[in-house]
Amino acid sequence: REILFDNMKTVIDRSKTNFSRVEFNTTFKHFADDAGFKPIACRPYRPQTKGKVEALARLTNRLAVYNGEFEDYADLEGIVNDFMDEINNEISQAINEIPLNLLKKDKEYLKPLPSLDLLCSYVYREKEYKVTKESMINYKGKKYSVPTKYIGFKVNIIETSDGNISIYYNQDFIICHSLTDKKYNYKIGHMHEILKSDACKHLSDDQIGDFIKENMALMDVLLGE
């Protein structure tokens, strides 16, 4: 099963995407796998595909005429329900048929949804975590590294059902870590940045790289408080 998506930040990892290759957000890709569909991204500068997605936004514009025409939530709910009935019974120009009729035919081919618990595990929680001077965040008593440019900033974390955490800053994906029982968890690139900014700032990049390879067991001590 395939679903077409616009190139939004919550779906596409823009830092890894170029014209010839699309890289999906790690957490979103996990969700797609669990939900049982294959995400397809709109091709840049190709309105034929992008229009299919943005056509849905035009439907909501038709509700603008009702601005100020309702007094409470019940009135608004009635307007929206009537609008949905109208839309669901319109003949689509693309297929020259009422889409609702096709849905009734297609239902038997649709896969069942995964468990509600699994889907709920992807709910975004608006809790913020401050990046420490060691360029790490503390999550459930364990520390995980991020690039040093985020030191002092607050980030968000999404824990997925497969035992990973995805870290975001202002909704932009930063890094994905596997949850572990280790006190300190860091990527080699982050470790290099951390050491160069502090304990090993007198060393060259190559020397820091050699130091990391030779002293992996000392990293927890060097990065400790």
Query: Does the structure show a pLDDT above 50 at 225?
Result: no
Q: In sequence order, what are the residues at sequence separation of 6 or more whose Cβ sits closer than 8 angstroms to the Cβ of residue 19?
A: 44
pLDDT in tens, 82-101: 988 888 888 887 788 888 88
Give the per-residue pLDDT at 195.
64
- Greater confidence, 64 or 33? 33
Order across the sheet with 164-169: list the strands: 128-130, 154-159, 164-169, 172-178
**Where is mean pLDDT largest: 14-28, 100-114, 116-130?**
100-114
- Which residues, in sequence order, are bridge partners of residue 24? 12
- Rounded mean pLDDT, 91-120: 81
pTM of the complete model: 0.41
| pLDDT, position 129 | 93
- Average pLDDT value for residue range 172-180: 89
- Asked if 176 and 166 touch (Cβ cutoff 8 Å), the reply is yes
What value, to the nearest 5°, has the Cα angle with vertex 131 and ends 128 and 208? Answer: 155
**Alpha helix stretches (DSSP H) within the chain:** 26-35, 47-61, 73-88, 99-106, 116-120, 188-197, 205-214, 219-222
Higher-pLDDT residue of 62, 193 = 62
Locate the domains of the chain by residue range: 2-109, 128-222
Tokens of 186: 């860091």
* More reliable by pLDDT, 30 or 137: 137
Of 47-56, 91-100, 116-125, the one with minimum mean pLDDT is 47-56
Q: What is the 3-state secondary structure (H, E, C) of 124-180?
A: CCCCEEECCCCCEEEECCEEEECCHHHCCCEEEEEECCCCEEEEEECCEEEEEEECC
Q: If pLDDT is split at 50, 70 and 90, which confidence band does 102 have?
A: confident
Total Cβ atoms within 10 A of residue 174: 19
Say which residue the tokens 């440019």 belong to: 149
User: What's the chain's length in residues?
Assistant: 225
- Beta-bridge partners for 165: 159, 177
pLDDT at site 206: 67
Q: Which of 111-120, 157-166, 179-188 is predicted with the least confidence, judged by mean pLDDT?
A: 111-120
Structural contact between residues 31 and 66, judged by C-beta atoms closer than 8 angstroms: no
Question: What pLDDT is recorded for position 140?
Answer: 92
CA 2 to CA 25: how far, in whole Å? 16
pLDDT at 132 over 80: yes
pLDDT band, very low/low/confident/very high, at 131 (cuts 50, 70, 90): very high
Tell me what pLDDT residue 35 has: 84
pLDDT higher at 1 or 31? 31
Across 186-214, average pLDDT? 64
Task: Specify the long-range contacts of residues 210-213, CB closer than 8 Å, at least 24 apart.
Answer: 212/188
**Given this model, what pLDDT does residue 138 score?**
94
